[in-house]
Chains A and B, each alone.
Chain A
Amino acid sequence: MTGLARVPAAFEPAGKRPRRSGKFALRFWSVRHARLLERVYAMFERALIGSAPLLKRIGFERLEKPVAAVERVTKGALFDCRMCGQCVLSSTGMSCPMNCPKNLRNGPCGGVRANGNCEVYPEMPCVWVEAWKGSQRLRHGTRAMAQIQPPIDHRLKGRSSWLVIARGEHSSNTSRLS
């Protein structure tokens, strides 16, 4: 496929290429170490909730930009995070669903190739094949994968999911972690 034929998905930042499984990418490492990351995130989440009064004193709106910037860099490196602002990583085996060119948040489409690669980007392993592998390493991974995710709220794009947790506004519909 030529470069021209590639259409960026809604959440695909310019210059970001689909990941090949053969090349080292932290995204695949994260899925392989989903259990470890789940533990780290659980601790981090407790810390976030614990520091909520302090964050509130500083002002959540004032923190939005710097925290989102840190989140973008950290999660960008670990998960190729697209900053949808409503993170569901722990429901998707630590494989970011916004890397799916169809932005599917509830499971794979019917077009997954026999080798487990993406229909749209033949060189990239399907985000949901990875998600299924990752979920099997989590404590309640299968149950989390069975949760129905609501349609995405496009207003939250670019905003920090961490501050959502700190504010205690994470909806019961989406998963708790990250």
Chain B
Amino acid sequence: MNVIAMHSPDVEEDPSAPLPELPGHSSRGRLERVLRRGEFAVTAELNPPDSADPQEVYDRVAVFEGWVDGINATDGSGANCHMSSVAICALLTRIGYSPVLQISCRDYNRIAIQGNVLGAAALGVCNVLCLTGDGVQAGDHPDAKPVFDLDSISLLSVIKRMRDEQRFLSGRKITSPPRLFLGAAENPFAPPYDFRPLRLAKKIAAGAQFIQTQYCFDVPLLREFMTKVRDMGLDQQCFILVGVGPLPSARTARWMRANVPGVHIPDSVITRLEGAENQRLEGKRLCIDIIQELREIPGISGIHLMAYRQEELVAEIVHESGVLNGRQPWRRGTTLKSAVGE
């Protein structure tokens, strides 16, 4: 809260200001607070515009307002070029949203990444998701140079070092460290399945505090993964948000599993969609059914909704599944107190 707001009731408090510090928290952001309070959290993925107009970002994000605790701004997802994640996050922090910055190792080397991390933190970003990134062959610029100077795990350790030791990878001192809540991705649905929980452990050791997984369409496979995760005690060391999303049709589902790297969709899901009169509605129902099943699995702290080109369904899915348990995530106009819930 800034000084003017405290003294003049007519001036609204600055929505972009970081929240007050809390002991044991790495960031001053809302997502970490929600998770540490033990709430079932909801994050959503924003499909970034191919445009230089900030209004397009605000229009796209409006459908999430009041329904989610964090908004992921993808970083050239699928190796396609869009507005940058840092820029989208900066636009979102201005009006008080809680964005998750995505950093993909595909596009930058360690110098660019560390500079971006400092810049994003300065612009009010509190959450970072560290990713390897899809290969350039998957996107609209297959002729690009793949960088991959770091990998997702070394990236985590680099940012953790910047935050906790106030040093760049080179050892050079940082005067004011980035206060970030560190995240990583996991894909329990891709081989080598036995190694996946161990890889999660590596990510936690490297600094991951929250995990957002790839789309879950195969709950039994996730259950197996989570059993191993719990046996290793990993669910106690990080917050796991499982990726979910509505499939618009059986045709799209087929296309996705053939063309989107890392997406696993069992035949039973496609059969269910094909058998439905309204496939889009059935896709939404399936998503809600999966969410209900996930809530029963111990060790899961929330969901990450990826409703590509169906973003308007996010509110309906959150509402109809009842995942929020009557809780109201932040929206514009909520005061600092009510948003924080303290």
C-alpha gap A133/B192 in the complex (Å)? 9
Residues of A within 8 A of B206 (CB): 106, 148
Check A114 against B261 for contact (C-beta < 8 Å).
no
- A112-B190, A120-B137, A146-B201 are contacts. A106–B153 as well, Cβ < 8 Å? yes
Check A114 against B191 for contact (C-beta < 8 Å).
yes
| Binary contact track B143-157/A, C-beta < 8 Å → 1, others 0 | 111111111111001
Check A108 against B192 for contact (C-beta < 8 Å).
yes
C-alpha gap A126/B145 in the complex (Å)? 21
Residue among B148, B154, B192, B205 making CB contact with A150, cutoff 8 Å: B154
Residues of A within 8 A of B186 (CB): 110
- A7-B143, A107-B195, A110-B214 are contacts. A148–B202 as well, Cβ < 8 Å? yes
Check B154 against A105 for contact (C-beta < 8 Å).
yes
Check A110 against B195 for contact (C-beta < 8 Å).
no
Residue among B151, B261, B264 making CB contact with A104, cutoff 8 Å: B151
Check B134 against A107 for contact (C-beta < 8 Å).
no
Residues of A within 8 A of B190 (CB): 108, 110-114
- A7-B137, A103-B151, A116-B191 are contacts. A142–B262 as well, Cβ < 8 Å? no
| Binary contact track A1-21/B, C-beta < 8 Å → 1, others 0 | 100011101100000000000
Give min CB distance, A45 to chain B, whole Å.
25
Residue among A6, A9, A114, A148 making CB contact with B148, cutoff 8 Å: A9
Residues of B within 8 A of A120 (CB): 135, 137
Check B195 against A103 for contact (C-beta < 8 Å).
no
Interface of B is mostly: loop
Check A102 against B148 for contact (C-beta < 8 Å).
yes
Give min CB distance, B183 to chain A, whole Å.
14
Check B191 against A151 for contact (C-beta < 8 Å).
no
C-alpha gap A112/B206 in the complex (Å)? 22
C-alpha gap A10/B144 in the complex (Å)? 12
C-alpha gap A38/B153 in the complex (Å)? 26
- A102-B135, A132-B192, A150-B154 are contacts. A107–B146 as well, Cβ < 8 Å? no
Give min CB distance, B312 to chain A, whole Å.
27
Q: A96 at the A/B interface (Cβ < 8 Å)?
A: no
In chain A, positions 140-178 with a C-beta closer than 8 Å to chain B are 142, 145-146, 148-152, 154
Check B185 against A151 for contact (C-beta < 8 Å).
no
Q: B82 at the A/B interface (Cβ < 8 Å)?
A: no
Check A102 against B137 for contact (C-beta < 8 Å).
no
**A115 nearest CB neighbor, chain B only:** B191
In chain A, positions 74-131 with a C-beta closer than 8 Å to chain B are 101-114, 116, 119-120, 126, 128-129
Check B264 against A114 for contact (C-beta < 8 Å).
yes
Check A107 against B148 for contact (C-beta < 8 Å).
no
C-alpha gap A151/B142 in the complex (Å)? 25
C-alpha gap A104/B26 in the complex (Å)? 28
- A101-B135, A149-B154 are contacts. A116–B262 as well, Cβ < 8 Å? no
Check B146 against A110 for contact (C-beta < 8 Å).
no
Residues in chain B within 8 A of chain A (CB atoms): 105-106, 110, 132-138, 142-154, 157-158, 169, 185-187, 190-192, 194-195, 198-199, 201-202, 205-206, 214, 261-262, 264
Instruction: List, sorted by A's number, 26 A–B pairs whose CB atoms are closer than 8 Å.
Output: A5-B137, A7-B146, A103-B151, A104-B132, A106-B151, A106-B153, A106-B199, A107-B202, A109-B132, A110-B132, A110-B214, A110-B261, A111-B261, A112-B191, A112-B192, A119-B134, A126-B191, A129-B191, A132-B195, A133-B192, A142-B198, A146-B198, A146-B201, A146-B202, A151-B169, A154-B149
* 19 extra interface residue pairs, beta carbon distance < 8 Å, beyond A7-B137, A104-B151, A148-B205: A5-B137, A7-B142, A7-B146, A107-B153, A108-B190, A108-B195, A108-B199, A110-B190, A110-B214, A112-B262, A114-B190, A116-B192, A119-B261, A126-B191, A126-B192, A128-B195, A132-B195, A148-B202, A151-B150
The 7 closest A-B pairs by CB, nearest first: A110-B187, A111-B261, A106-B153, A132-B192, A120-B135, A110-B262, A112-B190
